[in-house]
Structure 1
Amino acid sequence: MIEISCLKKSFGDLDVLDDINLNIQRGSIYGLVGRSGAGKSTLLRCMNGLESYDEGSILIYKRGFCERESQNNSKYNKLLCSCEIGDGRA
């Protein structure tokens, strides 16, 4: 299950993700469509821990991101833990 609540991400003055709310149940299949520059890739990057976000929360199987990424031998490893929910800041 994936739960996204009140997700916001900006690059400078440009609001890329503004109050995104999403709930995907286990076993569901979703598509993400939109025009170029709409924020599709940014949303996916936030979801998999490759990009930090400014506000909101992302829960994957009820676990929040505690540390966005670490570098080990040029490979990025995402770390999930059950710490404070919703702090996506790097």
Structure 2
Amino acid sequence: MKIDSEQLIRELSIELDALYDGDGTAGFSPSDVEGPRSAFIVAHLDGYPVGCGAIRPLDEDSVEVKRMYTRSDFRRKGVA
């Protein structure tokens, strides 16, 4: 699963880099989702990783949604 998440993050970063002419990370680090109340989820369809998303706590009452991504072939199919 770690390999799936790393590949999906790379793909998203490449897309963001092309769209916004930056490094594509949008300030995200894997350590952002290693603490309490954080999560990184990989969506699978028929065993194949097709998307991902993360939540990162900002404070006691709120979280930030990060790294929301669906591979282009699986967009508009209800994965996200």
TM-score (norm 2): 0.27
Higher RCO, 1 or 2 (CA under 8 Å, sep at least 6)?
Answer: 1
